[in-house]
Amino acid sequence: MKAVTLIEGPAAPLLRDNVNTDLIIRIERISQLVRGQLGPYLFETLHYRGEGPASGKREDFVLNTPAFRQACTILGGKNFGCGSSREMAVWALEEAGIRCVIAPSFGDVFYNNCLQNGLLPVRLDAREIAQIAEVASAGAMIAVDLRKQEIRAPGLATVAFEFDAAQREALLAGFDEIDQTLRLRETIDRFRANDRGARPWAYR
């Protein structure tokens, strides 16, 4: 998993509540495509005039505007990533270049999927997000610093955000749950050896 430290670049305002995982990536695309092919279909119904890239882009969609075509952060509304538990929603965001989503709240499964794939989900008050969105819309680069747990934008006071210490450490190191478990390999091996001696019948 790619480590997360400092994410800096355009932040696209998508300030709508209840953006669900089906809006992020349609169920049809999940059945048709594999990982590595999902990026062009991110927010398909908002992104294009019809079915997929061949139908042409909608000029009124924020990620199609010149200022946000290279966006690495999305500024979202409440309950971002709600709906079904598809991990492919996170994959599609990553493949489209999104490294961070800032929102007042997230769907629980989506939030955990972000952590397992190196996409940074930041919870922030809606008023603070609106202030950042105003600056971002004027073309400012937004910096999200996980190491310092702060967001920096030109003309705004530094915005601090909270983050679970263990989850922060894992993202900074680029560790998913498997990597974190492997760090405990010696402890696990010791337990198994002791347990095998105490309960040999369980290992037959």
- Whether 148 and 197 map to the same domain: the answer is no
Q: Residue 196's domain spans which residues?
A: 176-204
| Tally of domains within the chain | 2
Mark whether 122 and 41 lie in a shared domain: yes
- Specify the pLDDT at position 175: 81
Share of the chain above pLDDT 90, in %: 81
- Closest residue by Cα to residue 152 from 126, 132, 123, 170: 132
> What pLDDT does residue 192 have?
81
Identify whether residues 62 and 30 lie together within a single domain.
yes
pLDDT tens-place string over residues 40-55: 999 999 999 999 999 9
Q: How much is the pLDDT for 179?
A: 67
In this structure, the answer to whether residues 15 and 112 fall within a common structural domain is: yes
Q: Which amino acid is at 92?
A: A
Alpha-helical (H) ranges within 48-164 are 88-95, 108-117, 126-137
pLDDT digits (tens, 9 = 90+) for 89-135: 999 999 999 999 999 999 999 999 999 999 999 999 999 999 999 99
Whether residues 135 and 191 share a domain: the answer is no
Q: What is the dihedral of CA 68, 12, 163, 159, to 10 degrees?
A: 100
Looking at the structure, tell me whether residues 73 and 155 fall in a common domain. Answer: yes
pLDDT tens readout for residues 122-180: 999 999 999 999 999 998 999 999 999 999 999 999 999 999 999 999 999 998 766 66
Give the amino acid at 83: G
CATH number at residue 66: 3.20.19.10
Residue 1 inside a domain? The answer is no
20 and 81 share a domain?
Answer: yes
At 188, the pLDDT band (50, 70, 90 cuts) reads confident
Same-domain check for residues 116 and 78: yes
Do 154 and 181 fall into the same domain? Answer: no
